[in-house]
Copies of this chain bind each other. A is one copy, B any other.
Amino acid sequence: MSVPRAPERQWVPLDDRGLAYGDGLFETVLVRDGQPLLWDQHMTRLARGCQVLGFPLPSRDELDRLPGQAGPGLRILKLILTRGSGGRGYLPPASSLPRLRWQVMAFSPQPLRWRDGVRVRHCRLRLGIQPLLAGLKHLNRLENVLARAEWSDPDLADGVLCNSDGWLVESTCMNLFWQREGRLETPLLDDCGVAGTLRAELLAHLAVSEVKATPDVLAGAEAVWLVNSVQGVWPLARLDDAEGGSLATWPIGRAHRHFQAVAHDLLGYPVGFAE
């Protein structure tokens, strides 16, 4: 691909289908000193997205060059890949010329959330069911935006989402895991939700069952975590209902730390916290 000139590198034209229809994908990659974390998982998800949406993935060489441009320290590489321009209305062009854009942002994780856990609420919004798009990190994220707009209290770290049939899915920007009777579980994401890269890596490293579960499972769990490849693992210290009433609290204990350590080891994050 020819390198776009500034300002094109930071802009897309009005007829880009990513803007017009959300017809594209994105990845948000943690990069430490130019080395991407879970890069293969990000590329696997991006490739699957391209296959489902039906447009070509840029060459792996071209993609592999991006993280090195992030500079020293801890960074986020956000890449957006759209179907490009063209087509007639919703009809995609017979031959797409995808448009790849990226930006790099400084990033600091939140060690207090790692250590002390977080307070999380249930969202009122329920995710629509769309098996064709389930798992993908596509650009249609209005549901996440509306769910995240349900609260402004900075003490609430995230909100838990169910789908329109009432099954647990994820939080607005993280995946959910819990331990029940000693066993690790996470929602099956065959109807909606984003299949996170850290989630995928944890499924490969630990004995975790992907299950259909109702939201009451969380309050009864021995431990609950929110995870993603950027923030790492936040143990749940408290779960609220959508009106702010407390449903459950958890002391952060050994079970929490073991799971967190496995995940943080994958991201190069701290694994030990004073109890």
Query: Which residues of A are at the interface with B, using a C-beta cutoff of 8 A?
Result: 7, 10-23, 26, 53-54, 80, 82, 89-92, 101, 103, 125-130, 132-133, 138-149, 164, 172-173, 192
Contacts and interface: CB of A to CB of B under 8 A. Distances in A.
Of the listed residues A10, A18, A132, A142, the one surrounded by the most CB atoms of chain B closer than 10 A to its CB is A142
Nearest to A192: B128
Nearest to A90: B148
* Copies of this chain: 2
Contact of A22 (B80, B90, B133, B142): B142
A77 to B, nearest CB: 13
A125 B134 CA distance: 13
A109 to B, nearest CB: 14
Contacts of A82: 19
Contacts of A192: 128
B21 A145 contact: yes
Contacts of A103: 14-15
Contacts of A17: 145
A164 B129 contact: yes
Contacts of A126: 130
Contacts of A127: 128, 130
Contact of A164 (B14, B133, B164): B164
A128 B18 CA distance: 20
B148 A19 contact: no
A139 to B, nearest CB: 6
A129 B13 CA distance: 31
B145 A23 contact: yes
